[in-house]
A and B are shown apart, each in its own frame.
Chain A
Amino acid sequence: MNIFRLAGDMTHLFSVLVLLLKIHTIKSCAGISLKTQELYAIVFTTRYLDLFTTYISLYNTIMKLIFLGSSISIVWYMRHHKVVRRSYDKDQDTFRHYLLMLPCLLLALLINEKFTFLEVMWAFSLYLEAVAILPQLVLLQRTRNIDNLTGQYVLLLGAYRALYVLNWIYRYFTEENYVHWITWVSGIVQTLLYADFFYYYFQSWKNNVKLQLPA
C-alpha cells in the first residue's frame, strides 16, 4: 500500500470520526445532510458485498466493516436518536436524492467490468458515491452558519478523494495490470465536485473569517 492510499483511507476515517464526535458528544447533526448519509450507507452496502466472497487483507476487512457500521449508525442517529434528530435541518435538506439512484443503476447496468450481480453493484456504488456529496453541498450552501466540525468533515472527505486520485496515478506507474477505468472516471468526477468547496474553505481560512458559501 502506498502513502497516498494510506493517507486517503486515514482522512476518510477521520472524516467519519469527526462526524461521530459531533453526533455523540455535541448531540447535534446540524448542517449534516441525512440524504448524503443515506446515500453513503447504500454506497458501502452495495460495494462491500465482496466481504462475503473475497478476502483481501485484515486491514481491508476491518476498514470495510468500519465504513459500513459507521455509515449505517449515522443514519440511525439522525433519524431515530431522540436528541440528535431534533437538530437535523430537515426543511433545508430537500435534495431529492433517490432521483440520483436510478441513473446510477442504469449506468451500472450499461458500463461495468463484467455483467454479474456483484460487478454491477460495484459499478453502481462507484457512480453513486461520485454524486452522493451533492445533497451535503447544497445544504452547506443554504446554511448561513457552517460550524467548524461540519466544515472539517467535508474538507476531510474531499481530501480523501484527492488522495485517492494521487494513489491511482502512483499505482498506474508502479504496478503492472493496474487499470480501473470505472473507478478513475467516477473518482475524478467526485473530486471535481469538491473543488468549489475547497476554494471557499481556503479563502475563509486564509482571511481568518467564518466559512460561508455564496448563495
Chain B
Amino acid sequence: TKDSAVKDEL
C-alpha cells in the first residue's frame, strides 16, 4: 500500500 513507504526522514 501507499502507506508503507520507507521512513527515511529524521
A64 to B10, CA, bound (A): 7
Q: Which of A57, A64, A122, A179 contacts B3 (CB 8 A)?
A: A179
Are the C-beta atoms of B8 and A178 separated by less than 8 Å?
A: no
CB under 8 Å from chain A, chain B span 1-10 = 2-10
Are the C-beta atoms of B5 and A180 separated by less than 8 Å?
A: yes
Q: Which residues of B contact A181 (CB under 8 A)?
A: 3
CB distance from B4 to the nearest CB of A (A): 7
> Which B residue's beta carbon lies closest to that of A118?
B7
Q: Which of A9, A57, A164, A179 contacts B2 (CB 8 A)?
A: A179
Q: Which residues of A contact B5 (CB under 8 A)?
A: 177-180
Q: Once A and B bind, how many residue pairs between them come within 8 Å at the CB atom?
A: 31
Q: Which residues of A contact B10 (CB under 8 A)?
A: 9, 12, 60, 63-64, 67
CB distance from B10 to the nearest CB of A (A): 5
Are the C-beta atoms of B7 and A122 separated by less than 8 Å?
A: yes
Q: Which residues of A contact B3 (CB under 8 A)?
A: 113, 179-181
Q: Which residues of B contact A5 (CB under 8 A)?
A: 9
> Which B residue's beta carbon lies closest to that of A12?
B10
CB under 8 Å from chain B, chain A span 48-78 = 50, 54, 56-57, 60, 63-64, 67
A143 within 8 A of B: no
Q: Which residues of A contact B6 (CB under 8 A)?
A: 54, 56
> How does the 8 Å CB contact mask read for A3-30 relative to B, with 1 for contact and 0 for none?
0010001001000000000000000000
Give the top 9 A-B pairs by smallest Cβ distance, nearest first.
A179-B2, A56-B8, A113-B3, A63-B10, A177-B2, A177-B5, A178-B5, A9-B10, A179-B3
Residues of A within 8 A of B (CB): 5, 9, 12, 50, 54, 56-57, 60, 63-64, 67, 113-114, 122, 164, 167, 177-181, 183
